[in-house]
Amino acid sequence: MAKFLVMASYTVPGMAGLAKEGGTARSEVIEAIVTNAGGQVEAVYFAFGQVDLYVICEVPDNVTAAALGIAVRAAGGVDAHTVPLLTAAEVDAAARLPVAYQPPAP
């Protein structure tokens, strides 16, 4: 499973829906869409400021994460950005992976 941080800002219609339905209902919708995609939600946090919503979740792979992002953004209620999250062990493995790179000449 791949872990992701989703940061979302509500559009005006999305904020109106949140005001009408409340946070618990929105959180349940998030849980349902992620679970139906074969994943699980670790945390849902509402905030105020530039970002209105933070979701930490696991889904089977990047394709599933992209499909969820497409569906949610196409609905028009939020502008969302998805960030893949790596464990320390994954970063260790990446750091050990040999990469041939020559920077451009100055």
Strand boundaries in the chain, DSSP class E: 2-10, 40-46, 53-59, 78-85
Which CATH architecture describes the domain 2-94? 2-Layer Sandwich (3.30)
pLDDT digits (tens, 9 = 90+) for 67-104: 999 999 999 999 999 999 999 999 999 999 999 999 99
- Tell me the domain boundaries of the chain: 2-94
pLDDT digits (tens, 9 = 90+) for 17-66: 999 999 999 999 999 999 999 999 999 999 999 999 999 999 999 999 99
3-state secondary structure of 66: helix
- pTM (2 d.p.): 0.89
CA-closest candidate to residue 1, choices 45, 38, 56 = 38
Tokens of 30: 């998030």
